[in-house]
Structures are given as structure tokens and as C-alpha cells.
């Protein structure tokens, strides 16, 4: 408003200035006419009075105009300051109006990034922030849709693997069963036929292992890999695994020994699953190590955990491979895997299983020196007693 | 002679089971689904089969449903459930039914024949 007053003031000042110049000009013209009259010899008193009067009038006009100029300058100054303050207030208002929606947007973006795909912002305020808010909501909606589609695909994948590994079991039962029947009559088979049937049986066993591993992984992914832990003595379990696998290691002239602390406490685990993990670790040590290597399984108590180490003096694992060793379908050097019979899933499953028991699994290895796989399992609560398995017994195939 | 009733919807599996069980000295009857099992087994008869070996999943009537009906009618014959599931806790394993054991596919016949011998010896 004051700015408007300043503008009006400046306009007023300009028109006054024009009046002033016209008046001065007229005054000079009047004085000039009087002087001409005098120069022509008409030295009348009236002419001299006119000159004096015009001089006085001009002085008065000059005084008045300089007052006007000062007033106008003050007015303009005030107007400018007021304008500046007005602009500042306007900016402050704009910033406040934008800040709240922007803060909400930053907040929502943080939640979205943290995985809350249902995050939305309230659309409103200035048209710019409203547009931004709407764009954000559209983006979040799209992400939410994609995430739910991905979840659904994941579920379908898990379902598929479960069904497939289930459906494959019946034909596999027939192939293996009839091959075993043939082997029961091995006396009437030629050497070549016996070898052929042995190959069929070998591959059946491999297929069963793959199916079991895939099933475990699919269950783990679907959150359906359940364990039924009960207080368990690890010593006999480790001895049993070592005894079962000794035939294989002896065939490679490897030594397989165990060293178990005498006062090992009970651990809260599902024995079959721990057996599965140990069989996997010892089999890996056996298959990846050369002839005459030595493999040792140790168990001791550390604080609230029992530590099981599977130690070999084999070729070791290069650091680049060690990073990925617990990922699925990651296997040791191709040169070695030629004679390695695993599925590439064993360590991934072992990791899932150990973690399901509330434990950890890790590896320490040096190329040329060997590898140590370390499993930590929580000790059973004090007062726990070794419990027999519950529920109907499963008549399943041997150790997985 | 000890008789085992085997039910499976796959003829190949039935042939395999029959062969292995007959080789082990059992008399074998077969059924293609649970419906046939409930029609053939009389819960009140004493000269029915000595053991039931039922596939958990079959069309028309599953082995589980057939066994549930027979148990409700008072049958006490031991029964083994054959399941393609690796783990009895997975899907088709009811806890309210008296089942002597689960056989998972692929079948380990040494273990199966051992269990059959044990269960039929008890029955005899």
C-alpha cells in the first residue's frame, strides 16, 4: 500500500515539476517582455515592478519545489522499505506454505525407502506441492503393486517347487524300486548289465538328494522349513556321522577323526537336521580334499554355545569364492567339481538350518592350508533332559 | 499266511510293492484308491488283512480318509501311510489318527520290510 502511495507520490512529483517549469518559463517570459519594454526606452515604473515581482515569484517557486522534492524523496524511501518488508513477508509465507508438505514428502519417501509400500502423502497446499504429492502417491502406488506382484510370483515359485518335488517322487520311486529289483537278481545279469543298473541307482540317489535339497530351500524361502528342537546330546550324534562317513573317507585313504569335549552340555536342536548339516560339511571336506587328507570334527563348549568345527587340510578356498560359499548353486573350483557329487545346495541349506536353530555358521580358510567350517549352536536351558522323538515315526530313506 | 493290503493309484507302484512284498513272503492284495479299501475291509471281520499300506493321496478317497472311516468303525489293524512328502509334518499327516508309521517316497524297502515284519509279528 505504501508502495502504491510512493508511486502516486512520484507521479504527483513529476506533474508538480512540470507545473513548476511552466511557471518559471512564464515568469522569465514576463520579465523578458518588461526588459524589452525598458530597452525600447519605455522605462516605466510598472515594467521595473514586473521584473522585481517575477524575480520574487521565481524564488518562491524554487523554495516550494525543493520542499516537494525532499518530501517526495522521503515518501519514495519509505515506500521502498515497506515494499522490501512486504516482499520478505510474502516469501516467509510461501516458504511456510511449502515447508509442511515438503517435510511430509521427505518423511514419506523415507518410509517408502524403508519398505512401507503403502505410504501415501496428503495432497494439498500450493499447486506445486500438490502436484509433487500426487506424483509421489502415484509412484508409491505403482511400487506397491509391483511388490505385491513379486510376492505373489515368489509364492507361486515356492508352491511350484514344493509340488514339483512332490510329484517327481512317485516316478522316481518306480525307477529306483525296479532298478533295485534288477539288482536282487544280479547273479543272472552280465557284468555290463550290473554296471548299467548301478549307474541308474547312483543317479536315482543323486536325484533324491537334489529333490530333498530343493524342497528344503523352497520350504525355507516360504518360511515353512520347520524344526522340532529338543534337548540333544551332540557327542553320540557326531560319532554316528563320523562312523557313517568313514567308509567314504577310507576309500580315499583320508583320515576322519572326532574330538569331543567330555562335558559337552545338551543343545536344543532337531537331531536329524544337525546330522544333515554335519553330513554335508564332512562330505564337502571329503570330496574337495585330495587323497590322504585329514578331516577332523571337534566339539567344545564356549560360553552359552557349543562350537562344532569341521577341519580339513585340503586345498582351501580362494577369498573370492569364500564370500559366496553359502549361496545356492555355488560350488568349489570347476576342476574339482568333476568328481564332486553334491548338488551345490548343501551349504545354503546348512546355513538356513543353523540359523533356524538360532546358531551361526562361518568359514575360515587359507589356500594351500585347508578350511574350517564353524557351527555355533545355543546350549539347552539348564535342567533340560534328553528327550526321545515324539509323534509317529518316519520310515524314510537313510541319512540325507 | 500274513496278508498286506496295498493301496496306490499308480499301477507301477502297486506292481513294485507287490513284487517286493511277495518276494519277502507276504500275501498281497491291492486297491486302486481309498474307496476300494473301505469296500474291501470289514472292520468286524477277523480274517481281513494283517496290515494296511495306504498311499496318503489318491483320487476318489485318500488313504487318510479311508483309514479314518475304518478306525471310526472300530478297525484296529496296523496301518502304514505312504507319503510323497519328505516330512510327515508337511501336509497329509493327521495327528488324530492311529498310524503306525510313515513311509516316504522314494521308498527305502529295507526299512519298509523291516517295519512290515515288526508290525505283522505284533498282530500275529
pLDDT over 90 percentage in chain A: 26
Q: Do B16 and A208 touch (CB under 8 A)?
A: no
* Residue range A131-149, pLDDT digits in tens: 888 888 898 889 888 888 8
Torsion angle in degrees (nearest 10) through CA of A243, A248, A251, A254: -70
Confidence at residue A1, expressed as pLDDT on a 0 to 100 scale: 63
Q: Is the pLDDT of residue A69 over 90?
A: no
**Cβ neighbours of A191 (radius 10 Å):** 8
Interface test with A, best of B11, B14, B57, B86 (most A CBs within 10 A): B86
B85 interaction partners in chain A (CB closer than 8 Å): 166
pLDDT over 70 percentage in chain A: 92
* Residue range A97-123, pLDDT digits in tens: 888 888 888 888 888 888 888 888 887
* Residue range A387-397, pLDDT digits in tens: 666 555 566 54
Interface test with B, best of A179, A396, A398 (most B CBs within 10 A): A396
* Residue range A344-359, pLDDT digits in tens: 888 998 999 999 999 9
Q: Do A174 and B12 touch (CB under 8 A)?
A: yes
Say what the ipTM of the complex is.
0.87
Indicate yes or no: pTM above 0.90. Answer: no
- Identify which of A174, A392, A398 has the shortest CB distance to residue B16: A174
* Residue range A214-257, pLDDT digits in tens: 888 887 877 777 788 888 889 999 999 999 899 889 988 999 99
A218 touches chain B (CB under 8 A): no
A178 interaction partners in chain B (CB closer than 8 Å): 16
A381 touches chain B (CB under 8 A): no
The chain-wide mean pLDDT, for chain A, equals 85
Confidence at residue A337, expressed as pLDDT on a 0 to 100 scale: 44
How does DSSP assign A239-303, residue by residue? HHHHHHHHHHHHHTT-EEEEEE-TTPPPEEE-HHHHHHHHHHHHHHHHHHS-TT-EEEEEEEEET
Amino acid at each position: 500500500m505504501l508502495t502504491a502511495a510512493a508511486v502516486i507520490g512520484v507521479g504527483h512529483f513529476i506533474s508538480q515539476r512540470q507545473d513548476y517549469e511552466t511557471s518559471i518559463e512564464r515568469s522569465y517570459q514576463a520579465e523578458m517582455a518588461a526588459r524589452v519594454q525598458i530597452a525600447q526606452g519605455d522605462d516605466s515604473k510598472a515594467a521595473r515592478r514586473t521584473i522585481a515581482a517575477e524575480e520574487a515569484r521565481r524564488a518562491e517557486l524554487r523554495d516550494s519545489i525543493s520542499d516537494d522534492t525532499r518530501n517526495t524523496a522521503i515518501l519514495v524511501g519509505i515506500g521502498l522499505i515497506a515494499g522490501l518488508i512486504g516482499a520478505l513477508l510474502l516469501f516467509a509465507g510461501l516458504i511456510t506454505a511449502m515447508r509442511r508438505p515438503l517435510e511430509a514428502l521427505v518423511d514419506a519417501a523415507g518410509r517408502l525407502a524403508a519398505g512401507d509400500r503403502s505410504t501415501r502423502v496428503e495432497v494439498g497446499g500450493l499447486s506445486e506441492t500438490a502436484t509433487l504429492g500426487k506424483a509421489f502417491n502415484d509412484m508409491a502406488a505403482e511400487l506397491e503393486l509391483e511388490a505385491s506382484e513379486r510376492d505373489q510370483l515368489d509364492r507361486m515359485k515356492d508352491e511350484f517347487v514344493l509340488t514339483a518335488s512332490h510329484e517327481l517322487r512317485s516316478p522316481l520311486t518306480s525307477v529306483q524300486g525296479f532298478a533295485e529289483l534288477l539288482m536282487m537278481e544280479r547273479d543272472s545279469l552280465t557284468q555290463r548289465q550290473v554296471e548299467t543298473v548301478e549307474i541308474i541307482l547312483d543317479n536315482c540317489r543323486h536325484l533324491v538328494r537334489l529333490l530333498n535339497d530343493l524342497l528344503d530351500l523352497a520350504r525355507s524361502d516360504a518360511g515353512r522349513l520347520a524344526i522340532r528342537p529338543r534337548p540333544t546330546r551332540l557327542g553320540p550324534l557326531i560319532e554316528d556321522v563320523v562312523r557313517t562317513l568313514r567308509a567314504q573317507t577310507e576309500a580315499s585313504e583320508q583320515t576322519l577323526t572326532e574330538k569331543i569335549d567330555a562335558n559337552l552340555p545338551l543343545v536344543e536342536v532337531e537331531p536329524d537336521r544337525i546330522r544333515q548339516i554335519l553330513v554335508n560339511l564332512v562330505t564337502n571336506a571329503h570330496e574337495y580334499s585330495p587323497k590322504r587328507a585329514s578331516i577332523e570334527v571337534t566339539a567344545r563348549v564356549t560360553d552359552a554355545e557349543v562350537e562344532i568345527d569341521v577341519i580339513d587340510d585340503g586345498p582351501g578356498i580362494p577369498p573370492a569364492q569364500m564370500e559366496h560359499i553359502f549361496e545356492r548353486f555355488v560350488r568349489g573350483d570347476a576342476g574339482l567339481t568333476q568328481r564332486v557329487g553334491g548338488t551345490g545346495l548343501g551349504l545354503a541349506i546348512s546355513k538356513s538350518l543353523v540359523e533356524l536353530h538360532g546358531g551361526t555358521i562361518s568359514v575360515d580358510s587359507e589356500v594351500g592350508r585347508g578350511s574350517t567350517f564353524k557351527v555355533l549352536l545355543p546350549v539347552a536351558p539348564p535342567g533340560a533332559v534328553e528327550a526321545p522323538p515324539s509323534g509317529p515315526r518316519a520310515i524314510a530313506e537313510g541319512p540325507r | 499266511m500274513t496278508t498286506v493290503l496295498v493301496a496306490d493309484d499308480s499301477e507301477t507302484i502297486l506292481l513294485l510293492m507287490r513284487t517286493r512284498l511277495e518276494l519277502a513272503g507276504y500275501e498281497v492284495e491291492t486297491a486302486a484308491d481309498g474307496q476300494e479299501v473301505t469296500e474291501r475291509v470289514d472292520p468286524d471281520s477277523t480274517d481281513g488283512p494283517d496290515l494296511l499300506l495306504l498311499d496318503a493321496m489318491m483320487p476318489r478317497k485318500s488313504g487318510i480318509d479311508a483309514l479314518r472311516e475304518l478306525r471310526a468303525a472300530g478297525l484296529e489293524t496296523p496301518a502304514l501311510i505312504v507319503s510323497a512328502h519328505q516330512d510327515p509334518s508337511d501336509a497329509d499327516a493327521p495327528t488324530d489318527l492311529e498310524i503306525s508309521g510313515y513311509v516316504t517316497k522314494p521308498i527305502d524297502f529295507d526299512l519298509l520290510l523291516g517295519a512290515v515284519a515288526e508290525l505283522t509279528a505284533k498282530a500275529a
